[in-house]
Amino acid sequence: MRIVIARCSVDYAGRLAAHLPEAVRMIMVKADGCVAVHADGGAYKPLNWMNAPNTLVADAERLVVTNPKGEQLTITLHEVLADTSHQLGDDPGLQKDGVESHLQELLAAAPHAIEAGMTLVRREYPTAIGPVDLVCRDADGKVVAVEVKRCGEIDGVEQLGRYIERLHLDSTLGTVRGVFVAQVVRPQARVLAESRGFRWVEVDYDELRGLAPTDLRLF
């Protein structure tokens, strides 16, 4: 990974045009080709980015990133304050907590709990940016990517979108649709999922485990 701290300006040209005026920012260039521009704020989300695959052309004055769609991110370096590269090696990936991991396992065994007629193709389906929790086929035989969370937030919907972009690069899969599954899906995540054309589904963990509901109450 290459990390550059620089006074820079950023221009994006593609589906729309966007400009970041000159300021000090951090530029991350990952080994897989992803490029992200960060400010000193805004949590984890970059100000602008370009996902792999893409082509990077760099010199002392600028970094120009172009993806297969012809979209282009140009980072003009006005003053470089630091420029370092590090070999991070292989990453073991995110270890899900017990409930989330078990929820994924239960849904893999019973995909019809997500949608009637759904069958499992593969759990932890590999892509260049990480494994898709479940890849299934629906009752019509179409491929469905399923992202499973214990609590469904906006970042989970974004993650599902990135996986579907990768799956669409495989022409043998055809059109892939997405389903976002969680015990609880937050209202903002519901809105975002629907805007992206994804279904969202809430599932009952205890019901999937075969635990009968009870009406017993202390008060």
Q: What is the pLDDT of residue 52?
A: 85
Q: What are the distances in angstroms from CA 194 to CA 140, 178, 187, 198?
A: 21, 10, 11, 5
Rounded CA separation 157/194 (Å): 10
On the question of pLDDT at 214 being above 60, the answer is: no
Confidence band, pLDDT 50/70/90 cuts, at residue 16: confident
pLDDT above 90: percentage of residues in the chain: 74
Q: What is the pLDDT of residue 94?
A: 58
Give the mean pLDDT of 51-58. 90
On the question of pLDDT at 217 being above 60, the answer is: no
Rounded CA separation 54/129 (Å): 14
Residue 104: what are its φ and ψ, rounded to 5°?
Answer: -60, -40
pLDDT above 70: percentage of residues in the chain: 93
* pTM greater than 0.75: no
Q: What is the pLDDT of residue 215?
A: 45
Q: What is the pLDDT of residues 136-182, one digit of tens each?
A: 999 999 999 999 999 999 999 999 999 999 999 988 899 999 999 99
Q: What is the pLDDT of residue 42?
A: 72
Q: What structural domains does the chain harbor?
A: 2-85 (2.70.180.20), 98-208 (3.40.1350.10)
Rounded CA separation 129/159 (Å): 10
CB atoms within 10 A of CB 155: 14
Helix/strand/coil for 62? strand
Q: What is the pLDDT of residues 63-102, one digit of tens each?
A: 999 999 899 999 999 999 999 999 888 776 655 556 788 8
Burial class (CB in 10 A: 0-12, 13-18, 19+), 181: buried
